[in-house]
Amino acid sequence: MAKDTVTSEDVAKLANVSQSAVSRTFTPGASVSETTRERVLAAARELGYRPNVLARAMISGRSQLIAVLVAYLDNQFYPIVLEQLSRSLQQHGYQVLLFMTDPGNQDQMVQKMLQYQVDGIVMASATMSSTLARECAQTGIPVVLFNRYVPALPASSVTSDNLTGGQLVARLLVKAGHRRIAFIAGAENSSTNRDREAGFTAELAALGQRLWRRGIGGYTFEGAAQAARDLFAGDVGPDAVFVANDHMAFAAADVIRDELGLRIPQDVSLVGYDDVPEAGWGGYKLTTVKQPGEQMIEETVRILVEQLESRKVVKHEAILPSHLVIRSSARLPDAETLASLAGPGTAGTS
């Protein structure tokens, strides 16, 4: 950034045109004659000119920057989402400005984002205070909560149908004959956990059962491992465990098999949520509920781009369907029930 700085003026001089002509050449849809256009392009190439996006952003008010907030990247669901999101946004001419949130500094973070004049915000695996959301809304920046849902917030949200997902798991487990069904919760204040658990317990109740025991994993690997230990601490343990996401389910599996010496699914059934790649790996073969990550990303980008182009922020709420992915970590009910639970393409993807 030292002395190189080739500006549009340098190009203009070399091409013998006005500086505006250079600007127009690099502005899609501006009116330039083919001749000047070529002259400018030639000069630009010769000098190695690169338009300064920051300068453009200042005047046009569009930075082409999308802030993406993520709380952690160790649960594989999020890296994959981040990769797809980033690629898709790039395709639309936007770049991802990454923010790793700390539980404490959310407010600071949002200030930073706004300072960078980001055109839009995606909040994945991160909570946002209503004050902050309101602040964003005020500045007219579209916000999409990814995999989060907060009715009171003036922000769009894209989620999958966690309620139904939870229900499906309940039905699967009950119909397979389980009678001591436990649940390991994620973060208590997250909408994902709330909905998955609500659907799960509601369906349990509908089928005449109650949750046999409940642990809290907080969506962390270690938290889930401890929760699993606690769940099995008494004389008799659960015969099935539903874990609020795959990442925690792996921890539970390790405890159940390696520490407790129990077999999955012969001694205890295990079901996760998300369908991250590892769930399909041979080490776990986890029966789980698939969140349609790709569709969720597509929807997120659609909402964002639409609002960016129309310059109108409207609250959207997309809830995409999720379905069971049957592998071999949970005992199966009879074929008929199984078929009724099966979503599209439920056949054990690996």
- Least gap, CB of 93 to DNA (angstroms): 13
Beta strands in the chain (DSSP E): 65-70, 95-100, 120-124, 143-146, 156-160, 181-185, 213-216, 240-243, 269-271, 288-290, 317-320, 323-325
Contact 214, 261 (CB under 8 A): no
Q: Which 45-104 positions form the footprint of DNA (CB under 7 A)?
A: 49-52, 55-56, 58-60
Of 45 and 179, nearer to its own copies (C-beta) is 45
d(CA 230, CA 225): 9
DSSP state of 144: E
Torsions phi, psi of 26, nearest 5? Answer: -95, 10
Residue closer to its own copies, measured from CB, 26 or 200:
26
Window 2 to 41, contacts with DNA (CB under 7 A): 5, 7-9, 17-21, 23-24, 26-27, 31-33, 35-37
- Asked if 139 is part of the footprint of DNA (rule: CB under 7 A), the reply reads no
If one asks whether residue 107 binds DNA (CB under 7 A), the answer comes out as: no
The interface partner of residue 73, options being its own copies, DNA, none and the CB cut-off 5 to 8 Å by kind, is its own copies
Nearest residue (CB) to its own copies, 90 versus 340: 90
Task: Please give the residue ranges that form the binding site for its own copies (CB under 8 A).
Answer: 1-4, 48, 50-55, 57-58, 61-63, 65, 68, 70, 72-74, 76, 78-80, 82-83, 86-87, 90, 95-100, 102, 111-112, 114-117, 119, 135, 138-141, 221, 250, 253-254, 257-258, 277-278, 281-284, 311
**Residue 244 interacts with DNA (CB under 7 A): yes or no:** no
Query: Tokens representing 6?
Result: 């080739």
**Residue 118 binding DNA, by CB under 7 A:** no
| Rg from Cα positions in the chain | 25
CA atoms within 13 A on the CB side of 176: 28
C-alpha span between 273 and 97 (Å, rounded) = 28
